[in-house]
Amino acid sequence: MKSMVLDRIRTPLRLVELPDPRPAAGQLVIRVEACGVCRTDLHVFDGDLPNPKLPLVLGHEIVGTVEAVGEGAPEDLRGRRVGVPWLGHTCGSCPYCRSGRENLCDDPGFTGYTLDGGFATHVVADAPYAFVLPDGSDPVATAPLLCAGLIGWRSLKMAGDGKAIGLYGFGAAAHILVQVCRWRGQEVYAFTRPDDEAGRRFAMEQGAVWAGSSTETHPLPLDAAILFAPAGELVPQALAAVRKGGTVVCGGIHMSDIPAMPYRLLWGERRLVSVANLTRSDAQEFFGIAKAANVRTVTSTYPLERANEALEDLRAGRLNGAAVIVP
Give the rounded distance of the alpha carbon of 260 from its chain centre. 28
Q: Give residue 291's pLDDT.
A: 95
**pLDDT (mean) for 217-241:** 93
Q: Give residue 134's pLDDT.
A: 86
Q: Give residue 215's pLDDT.
A: 82
User: Could you count the other beta carbons within 10 Å of the beta carbon of residue 263?
Assistant: 6
The residue with greater pLDDT, 135 or 75, is 75
**pLDDT (mean) for 245-255:** 96
**pLDDT (mean) for 82-88:** 98
pTM: 0.95
Asked if 89 contacts 116 with a C-beta cutoff of 8 angstroms, the reply is no
- Say which residues have a Cβ less than 8 Å from residue 163's Cβ, sequence separation at least 6: 185, 186, 187, 223
At residue 287's C-alpha, the angle toward residues 285 and 290, to 5°, is: 110
Asked if 62 contacts 32 with a C-beta cutoff of 8 angstroms, the reply is yes
Spell out the domains of the chain, with CATH numbers in brackets: 2-144+278-326 (3.90.180.10), 149-274 (3.40.50.720)
In tens, the pLDDT along 4-27 reads 999 999 999 999 998 899 999 999
Q: What is the enclosing helix (H) or strand (E) of 95? A: helix 95-98
Asked if 49 contacts 73 with a C-beta cutoff of 8 angstroms, the reply is no
Q: What is the enclosing helix (H) or strand (E) of 250? A: strand 242-250
